[in-house]
């Protein structure tokens, strides 16, 4: 279990592309290499020095199959938004997890799929609580590729039960 306080940086409301949002988030990112400008809402968050781009995509229709090229572009610290990874916030049913409300679709900054990120799931849970999508008085269950994680929020302390460590097979 991680018992580290999560520092939440309130980003100024504004946008990178000069348009207002109808998704409740005022930050937009444009991909000029696609057919015409493509924009969508994003948030940035950090937990214990790891920073993430959060992509609200509750019903799975905004980003579809998030390409590794797009993830690398978002995470690029010079030409993109800059981040250690991308957290797509999507309902469990969209990702084949009908018994859990939320699924953390985590991608590493190189665009590869990842099973889990401890700091990322805490940032993910903070987003759910901040947006009124989860009740902080009860454990928040989040499905990940690494299994179900239970997140507890007590004031500004966000704790995640990472489960029992598993040791890999030793190489010879």
Distances (CA, A) of 53 to 16, 49, 70, 83, 84: 14, 13, 12, 6, 8
Interstrand relation of 85-91 and 102-108 (parallel, antiparallel or unpaired) = antiparallel
Overall pTM > 0.85: no
Region at 31 (left for phi over 0; alpha for psi -120 to 50; beta for the rest): beta
In the predicted model, what is the mean pLDDT of residues 31-55?
75
Percent of residues, the chain, with pLDDT higher than 70: 75
With a cut of 90, say whether residue 163 has pLDDT above it. no
In the predicted model, what is the mean pLDDT of residues 66-88?
91
Q: Which residue has the tokens 């179900």?
A: 148
Cα separation, 56 vs 111, in Å, equals 18
């Amino acid at each position: 279990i991680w018992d580290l306080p999560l520092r939440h940086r309130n980003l100024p409301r504004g946008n990178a592309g000069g348009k207002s949002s109808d998704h409740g988030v005022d930050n937009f990112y444009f991909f000029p290499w696609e057919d015409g400008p493509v924009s969508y809402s994003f948030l940035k968050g950090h937990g214990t020095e790891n920073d993430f781009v959060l992509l609200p995509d509750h019903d799975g229709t905004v980003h579809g199959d998030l390409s590794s090229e797009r993830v690398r572009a978002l995470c690029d610290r010079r030409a993109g938004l800059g981040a250690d990874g991308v957290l797509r916030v999507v309902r469990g049913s969209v990702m084949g997890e009908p018994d859990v409300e939320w699924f953390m679709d985590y991608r590493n900054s190189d665009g590869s799929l990842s099973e889990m990120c401890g700091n990322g799931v805490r940032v993910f849970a903070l987003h759910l609580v901040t947006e009124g999508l989860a009740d902080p008085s009860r454990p928040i269950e989040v499905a990940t590729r690494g299994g179900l994680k239970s997140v507890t929020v007590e004031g500004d302390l966000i704790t995640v039960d990472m489960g029992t460590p598993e040791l890999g097979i030793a190489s010879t």
